[in-house]
Amino acid sequence: MIITVDGPSGSGKGTLCQLLAAKLGYHLLDSGALYRLTALAITRAGVSLGDESAVAAVARELAVVFNVSAQEQSVILQGADVSAEIRREEVGMLASQVAAMPLVRAALLQRQRAFVESPGLVADGRDMGTVVFPEAEVKVFLTASSEERAKRRFLQLQERQVQGKGESPNMAVILADIEDRDARDRSRAASPLVPATDALQIDSSTMPIDAVLAEVLVQVSQRLASLESGLT
Ligand code: DC
């Protein structure tokens, strides 16, 4: 069973995928982390964004380990924990540029498909249902207005600031960054952010995450029941 969840950043995809994977006992693929890791690795290696082949080579050779436990997911790159570092705004912006490169997307394709494992996979990204797992049994496209997504990001950053882990966030800058990144993700030629034709589309702007989870779980149960009864 493969469940794909695609959508823009801040739509609640990450939270939904974690809840789905925990509830169903499935594995989790955070494909955005692979693009973020590539962005971090090229910065460290001093590879220029202008050299697409070299960026793709870095993506192909990423020495990464995902450690998943019930409490948290940590990401280890070349032996060091980079979980917090890959979530930084600059890494996200660079990841969006790296993700527009067809050679990088091709380099990461098999690595993403290798995450499929019994009893099932929840795959979080932008092109999970369209390109990476077009055969997925359940596809979700989760959206929310850019204002609502900026508000969620602002609250997250504010919480981090209170814990002494970051600078004071600026709502206007966050909204502009979100709109910039969305435009790039939606308009790129290689695997743009678009809903699969057979995706269940959900707008989470005014929906609590539990309600989104419940709606997707209904879809999953119906799909499992039809697979068990031999229908497709
Ligand atoms: O979901 P995220 O914010 O961690 O993703 C980081 C960037 O990578 C974002 O700009 C979109 C891009 N991305 C992508 O192009 N395809 C994916 N499957 C996942 C992420």
How far is it, in rounded angstroms, from Cα 167 to Cα 161?
Answer: 6
Decide the pairing of beta strands 64-68 and 138-143: unpaired
**Weakly modelled stretches of the chain, pLDDT under 50:** none
pLDDT per position as a tens digit, 161-195: 888 877 889 999 999 999 988 898 899 888 899 99
Give residue 176's pLDDT.
94
Ligand 1 mean position to 96 CA, how many Å? 6
Site to substitute for ligand 1 among 42, 126, 185, most atoms within 8 A of C-beta: 126
Domain range annotation of the chain: 2-218
- Is the CB of 95 inside a 6 Å radius of any atom of ligand 1? yes
Give residue 144's pLDDT.
96
Give residue 89's pLDDT.
83
**Phi–psi pair at 20, nearest 5 degrees:** -60, -45
Find the Cα–Cα–Cα–Cα dihedral 87, 147, 19, 8, rounded to 10°.
-70
Ligand 1 mean position to 224 CA, how many Å? 29
Decide the pairing of beta strands 121-125 and 27-30: parallel
Q: Whose CA is nearest to atom 4 of ligand 1?
A: 32
- Is the CB of 129 inside a 6 Å radius of any atom of ligand 1? no
Residue 119, classed as helix, strand or coil, is coil
Give residue 71's pLDDT.
65
Fold exhibited by the domain 2-218 = Rossmann fold (3.40.50)
- Is the CB of 11 inside a 6 Å radius of any atom of ligand 1? no
Query: How far out from the chain centre does Cα 151 lie?
Result: 19
Whether residue 134 is preceded by a cis peptide bond, meaning omega within 30 degrees of 0, is no
Ligand 1 mean position to 227 CA, how many Å? 31
Give residue 122's pLDDT.
98
- Is the CB of 6 inside a 6 Å radius of any atom of ligand 1? no
